A and B are shown apart, each in its own frame.
Chain A
């Protein structure tokens, strides 16, 4: 009976194998301890009493899932801010490098460059605003995980557009210049931006993949933190 109960809780937490494994061990230890200390002695009846006292496996699994998802979302929220900040530093470093090197903007397709720069700027500030909104929404107690996931996707998409714009502008500038060691800074800073968006994409995918229990049922069984 204990084995079946533990299996059920573990199965409901299968979206996070490490959590599932930990909870299985914790619950099994708890139930075995309850049986061992049962004043009426061990056996099937003691197992039944231990399982009944533990509570509904589905409800407890939902509560545990909610805790794990909130913790993961908080990490993802911090990551959104970190990646956006890194992208800003990389952009500013690249622009500073162009100024130090007295490196003129590419002369090819000036109209395209202006338009892309405008899209880049707006997309970046959109990513900042939406990213901050995502961070604040998840840091608030009882944050809405579904809304957080949507905000994360929006911030990542906006940052992706901004980084794509940066890549176009950087390419335009590099196209008209002779290749030398000075191109390393633009290439490395672009690499940082692209890697940041990649990390964010992976994190957002994990947030969305774990989104199965973000609905009202899982919220209904949650409790507040001190």
Chain B
């Protein structure tokens, strides 16, 4: 999918990916790829500015943890505020999706008046 189309929805996509539980950046990207069936295949680094911005906005909280490999990694989790923002975005998106679905639904050709 085109990067420009995704750009306006990156925040929602990232919040949705984190909604399953705390995750580090690489896992979030893998989750996005998996849940989108590979449709959202952005340059991986672009997710980090989004994570940082969402954290500054209070939608995500992060902390350092030590992975099994021994590496220190930053783990992000959804805050209450982030959960509310995601729920609101989900509702808006559902409305939009239903509306577009309605528009794209194939209509039976109407009979022309005799």
Q: Which residues of A sit under 8 angstroms from B46, Cβ to Cβ?
A: 55, 60, 63
Q: How many whole Å from A1's CB to the nearest CB in chain B?
A: 15
| Closest chain B CB from A93 CB (angstroms) | 34
Cβ of A22 under 8 Å from chain B: yes
Count A interface residues, CB 8 Å.
30
In the complex, whether B53 has a CB less than 8 A from a CB of chain A is yes
Total B residues in contact with A, Cβ cutoff 8 Å: 30
- Interface class of chain A by DSSP: helix
Of B45, B54, B57, B69, the residue contacting A60 (CB under 8 A) is: B45
The answer to whether B73 and A63 have CB atoms under 8 Å apart is: no
Is B96 part of the binding interface, using a Cβ–Cβ cutoff of 8 Å?
Answer: no
Against A, the Cβ 8 Å flags (1 = close, 0 = not) of B23-66 are: 01110000000000000000111101110111011010000000
Contacts A223-B7, A226-B11; is A54 near B73 (CB within 8 Å)? no
For the complex, is B72 an interface residue (Cβ under 8 Å from A)?
yes
Query: What residue in chain A is nearest B28 (Cβ atoms)?
Result: A30
A224, B48: Cβ atoms under 8 Å?
no
Collect the chain A residues with CB atoms within 8 Å of residue B49's CB. 60, 63-64, 66-67, 223
A99 within 8 A of B: no
Tell whether B107 is near chain A: CB-to-CB under 8 Å. no
A95 at the interface (CB under 8 A from B): no
Docked Cα-Cα span, A55 to B7, in Å, equals 15
Contacting pair B43 A225 (CB below 8 A): no
How near does chain B come to A32, taking the closest CB pair, in angstroms? Answer: 6
Q: Is the CB of B7 within 8 A of A29?
A: no
A34-B26, A225-B11 given as contacts; is B48 within 8 A of A29 (CB)?
A: no
Given A22-B74, A26-B74, A36-B69, decide whether A223 and B44 contact each other with a Cβ distance below 8 A.
no
| Chain B contacts for A26, CB-based, 8 A | 25, 48, 73-74
Q: How near does chain A come to B30, taking the closest CB pair, in angstroms? A: 8
Identify the A interface with B (CB < 8 A): 22-23, 25-27, 29-30, 32-34, 36, 53-57, 59-60, 63-64, 66-68, 70-71, 74, 223-226
